[in-house]
Amino acid sequence: MKLIFHKYQGTGNDFVILDNRDERYNDLNTEQIRFLCDRRFGIGADGLMLLNTKPGYDFEMKYYNADGRESTMCGNGGRCLVKFAYHQGIRKNMYHFMAVDGAHEAEIDDDGTVSLKMKDVNGIRESHGDFILDTGSPHYVKLVTDVMAFDVYKKGMDIRYNNTYAKEGINVNFVEQKREDEIIVRTYERGVEDETLSCGTGVTASALVCYHNERGFNDVTVLTRGGKLSVEYDRVDEDTFHNVWLCGPAEKVYEGGIELK
C-alpha cells in the first residue's frame, strides 16, 4: 500500500500526519506506525497523528508515539494538526476538535502562531521536592540548575523506569528558572524513550509549576532546544489552573509517499 504522508514540526517536536477523513488508515498497526516513525528505516518522527472526522467538531486528533502505541495528549502535535487542518482547507477563526483528553479550542494568528487551549489542571502532587501533574499527559517536573549541562537521557530514564512509573510510564521534565517569567525545559518523553527537542504538555506542566503571580493571570516564556513557546493561564488556587493556552510555531516540513509492507 502506498501511503501519502505530511511531515510537520512544532519547536522541533516532529510528526507524521495522515489525512484519515476517508478512514483509509484505520487499520494501521503498531508495527507499521513504529516503522513510519523510524528515523533510519522509515520517515522519522516523534509521533504520528491521524486527522479524523468527528460529528459536531472540526476534526478529531488521534495520536501515536514513535513506539507505535496510541497515547495520551500531545500539545505540540495538537498545534501541528491544527496547522495541517488549515492547509487541508479547514478554515476557522476558532477551531474545535476532539482529542483523547477531551475537547480543545485552537486559533492561528496572522503570523502563523498556533495557540491551543489545554485541559484544566486540578492537582499537583509533590514528591521529594519534585512535582507530578497531568496536562493531558502525565508529567514529572524537576527543578535543576544549568539544565543545558544536565544528563536528560540518563536521569530521565531513571525516573521513567523506576518502580513507581515503569508500568504506565511518565514524561520527565528538567526545568531551569531563568527569570520570574522565563524557564528552560528539556524533556525525556515516554513512548519515544529519548529526549525530544520540545514537548508541549511538558512545557505546559513546567510553566504551571513555575508560576510568578500567586493568583490570576500568568504568562511564562519557555525555551526548549527546538525553539520558544509561551504558556498563558489563570492560577485559580494552589493547584487549580484554568484557561491554559500553549502558543508557538507549527510548520509544515514536507510531504511525500512511502510504500507500506
Ligand X SMILES: N[C@@H](CCC[C@H](N)C(=O)O)C(=O)O
Catalytic sites, residue numbers? 74, 199
Contact predicate 59/51, CB 8 Å:
yes
Contact predicate 104/117, CB 8 Å:
yes
Between CA 30 and CA 132 the distance in angstroms is 28
Contacts to ligand X from residues 34-53, by CB under 6 A: 46
Between CA 92 and CA 139 the distance in angstroms is 31
Contact predicate 173/210, CB 8 Å:
no
Q: How many CB atoms lie within 10 A of CB 139?
A: 26
200 is in an annotated binding site: yes
Task: For residue 76, give the nearest of 247, 252, 255 by alpha carbon.
Answer: 247
Answer for which of 52, 71, 224, 230 binds ligand X (CB under 6 A) is 71
Answer for which of 190, 195, 220, 235 binds ligand X (CB under 6 A) is 190
Closer by beta carbon to ligand X, 62 or else 190:
190
75 is in an annotated binding site: yes
Site membership for ligand X, residue 199 (CB under 6 A): yes
Answer for which of 68, 200, 226, 249 binds ligand X (CB under 6 A) is 200
Residues belonging to the binding site are 13, 65, 75-76, 171, 189-190, 200-201
Positions in the binding site for ligand X (CB under 6 A): 13, 46, 65, 71-72, 74-77, 137, 171, 189-192, 196, 199-201
Residues belonging to the binding site for substrate are 13, 65, 75-76, 171, 189-190, 200-201
